[in-house]
Chains A and B, each alone.
Chain A
Amino acid sequence: MGKIITVSSGKGGVGKTTTTANLGLGLAMLGKRVICIDADIGLRNLDVMLGLENRIVYDIVNVIEGRCELKKALVRDKRYPALKLLPAAQTRDKNAISEEDMENLAHQAAEITDYVLIDSPAGIEHGFRYATRPAELVLIVTNPEVSAVRDADRVIGLLEANGRAEAKLIINRMRPEMVRRNEMLDADEVVELLAIDLIGIIPDDQDILAAANRGQPVVLDDRSETGQAFRDITQRLEGADIPFLPLKGPSLLQKIFGR
């Protein structure tokens, strides 16, 4: 049985889909079999970030409605075939599936893979509930800003109330120079408030956006610090004890000569 992990946040736009894409590919790069499920029905994005948009034939709702086998709906990644994507339906909405549907689907997927990664919709409504329902582990993505942390706290509270899943924290878009200037919460403050285990800190990086637009997640770039941060998380998911990267701001020389 594979491990079922949901990526969630409460707040939108903090980097859930980016994180799912990078962790999915990163785990596949380690030789693991991975199925990414895009649970954001009606607002499908994960396929674009993975560069798999034009290979989609069937989607999650087709599988749940029994019109197609799970295996047949999976889109195989062009770079790492161990990674497969179950795309969201773009023409339907979240009411097309129930919590039980998602639970059954995720467990069915877990039987044929090492990891099932579910990309949760934003919010705390039905979409969030069905996406987190089957999870053994929920990765909470937040940004070092007050509103994102507040929403993450709310989500963690809801998960605790259900008492099913363990939650771990990913702080995305960290900008060391802003922390140094005291303009941004630092990682310690975020962890102190949320009081759950930290599993990754992702630096803020323009390359992430460029990479997403090209459908080439940054985890593929072995010179990228951000890619390294994602690769470290995949190692930690595998149980390795990897120290956190020291977050380098621009050095003095880089500041003088420009980047």
Chain B
Amino acid sequence: MSDEAPLTLKGTPQGLRLRPLTEDWAAVLHALQYALQDADAFFRGGRVILQLDQRPLTEAELLALRDLLERHDIELWVVLSDDSATQRLVRSHGIRTRLPGETAEPSPTAAPEDQQALFVHRTLRSGQSLNYPGHVIVLGDVNPGAEVIAGGNIIIWGRVRGIVHAGAFGDASALICALDLNPSQLRIASHISRSPDERRRKPKPEMAYIRDDHIVAEPWTMR
């Protein structure tokens, strides 16, 4: 997302953290709508933490945001504001004003939220879905009919036969690595590609990324 964007949207383990960067609420909603359309399946069923800090919010602005999120099946969960009028307004609509179990100071050893990774040690079977805002590492296979969706990179130490989607918030620099990369579909940011239809003889480790607007998969060679 560029610096001029009217908002930042960041996946965190607690929820999606939305921070408006402009006073123009209409522009914020407009940009948000675009972002939600792009990754609808990923956000669906999720919840949003709105980080306002000093900016006061009117009731109309609050309700417009909540309606937009609800149309995408997303809950407006927490509004973080330093403005006491805004806090009262938010609470009157049954929305939290602080994160549960929030500590005053973030622990200094924790990695930034978007650099956290989820480690999964099992095979994902047909019908199972793994969604995580950070990176995902799977020690096991991703079988046909299973899906892994990550905000960051995806590393599969095993066979990939299902669907993997890296950079689901639009990060086109995301990578997908696997010991045997033969997915039914490969997605990075908003790019989609399929595996070649013919069956492969010898699986080898591969790494997929976006180059010149296309997803390419290259065999992993030790340098």
Whether a CB of chain B sits under 8 angstroms from the CB of A197 is: no
User: Which of A41-49, A147-155, A234-242 forms contacts with chain B?
Assistant: A147-155
Contacts of A195 in B (CB 8 A): 123, 141
A160 to B125 Cα, complex, angstroms: 10
Complex interface residues of chain B between 130 and 166 (CB less than 8 A to chain A): 141, 143-146, 161
- The contact string, 1 if C-beta is below 8 Å from chain B, for chain A 154-182, is 10111010000000000000000000000
- The contact string, 1 if C-beta is below 8 Å from chain B, for chain A 185-197, is 0000000010100
Complex interface residues of chain A between 134 and 152 (CB less than 8 A to chain B): 146, 150-151
Whether a CB of chain A sits under 8 angstroms from the CB of B126 is: yes
Whether a CB of chain A sits under 8 angstroms from the CB of B127 is: yes
A195 to B161 Cα, complex, angstroms: 14
Whether a CB of chain A sits under 8 angstroms from the CB of B128 is: yes
Contacts of A156 in B (CB 8 A): 125
A158 to B124 Cα, complex, angstroms: 11
- Listed A/B pairs (15) with beta-carbon separation below 8 Å: A150-B126, A151-B126, A153-B125, A153-B144, A154-B125, A154-B127, A154-B145, A156-B125, A157-B125, A157-B128, A158-B127, A193-B141, A193-B143, A195-B123, A195-B141
14 other contacts beyond A156-B125, A157-B124, A195-B123, with CB at 8 A cut-off? A150-B126, A150-B144, A153-B125, A153-B126, A153-B144, A153-B145, A154-B125, A154-B126, A154-B145, A157-B125, A157-B128, A158-B127, A193-B143, A193-B161
9 tightest Cβ-Cβ pairs between the two chains A and B: A157-B125, A154-B126, A153-B126, A154-B127, A153-B125, A157-B128, A153-B143, A150-B126, A150-B145
